[in-house]
């Protein structure tokens, strides 16, 4: 049985965009849940104009994500400085996946979904609520915890804990 694609003429491709600085277990939970819904999921590291100077460069973030999702065969990782609606058009993606941790996330994400739809009328946005155990996890919280040497094992995929700690140590020492 062939899946409907709402006339966009694409394989069921979705994009999960974000800054992922660094990727958290909450992000990974959304990735795993979205990956079962689509033929291909592209996790795209975007430059967020509201966030200045990250812990990792966009390329480093993409490399960390690739290590974390290596066992998910339909997940790809990319970086882009392109407007998201245009990036989706280039990749022939029909859906954006956005994770929501709290009701406060919804207002901003809804506005962005409407803007993206205006720029690319074939682009849908799918909101996935965060799993309850990750609602408090954010990259900002992870960076703050790492700054003080806290245990990150409940917040960050084990494959990259050492990278996060090393990067934070180099920032403190440098």
Cα–Cα distance measured from residue 51 to residue 57, given in angstroms and rounded to the nearest whole number? 12
Out of 32, 51, 118, 147, which one is annotated catalytic?
A: 51
Out of 61, 98, 130, 139, which one is annotated catalytic?
A: 139
CB neighbourhood size of 99 (10 A) = 21
For the chain, how long is the longest CA-to-CA vector? 58
Task: State yes or no: is 140 an active-site residue.
Answer: no
User: How is the beta sheet containing 95-100 ordered, strand by strand?
Assistant: 75-80, 40-46, 13-18, 95-100, 124-129
Task: State yes or no: is 139 an active-site residue.
Answer: yes
Task: State yes or no: is 12 an active-site residue.
Answer: no
Hey, what are 70's tokens? 């290596």
Cα–Cα distance measured from residue 42 to residue 17, given in angstroms and rounded to the nearest whole number? 8
Out of 27, 61, 122, 167, which one is annotated catalytic?
A: 27
Out of 12, 33, 89, 101, which one is annotated catalytic?
A: 101
Torsion sign (Cα): 78, 83, 88, 91: negative
Catalytic residues: 27, 51, 101, 139
């Amino acid at each position: 049985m062939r899946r409907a694609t709402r006339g966009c003429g694409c394989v069921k491709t979705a994009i999960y965009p974000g800054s992922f600085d660094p990727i958290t277990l909450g992000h990974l939970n959304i990735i795993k849940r979205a990956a079962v819904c689509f033929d291909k999921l592209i996790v795209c590291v975007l430059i967020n104009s509201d966030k200045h100077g990250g812990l990792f460069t966009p390329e480093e973030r993409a490399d960390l994500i690739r290590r974390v999702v290596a066992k998910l065969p339909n997940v790809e990782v990319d970086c882009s400085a392109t407007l998201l609606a245009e990036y989706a058009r280039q990749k022939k993606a029909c859906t954006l996946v956005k994770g929501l941790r709290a009701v406060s996330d919804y207002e901003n994400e809804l506005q962005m979904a409407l803007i993206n739809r205006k720029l690319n009328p074939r682009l849908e946005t799918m909101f996935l609520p965060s799993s309850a155990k990750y609602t408090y996890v954010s990259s900002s919280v992870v960076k703050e915890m790492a700054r003080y040497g806290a245990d990150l094992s409940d917040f960050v995929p084990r494959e990259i804990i050492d990278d996060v700690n090393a990067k934070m140590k180099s920032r403190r020492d440098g």
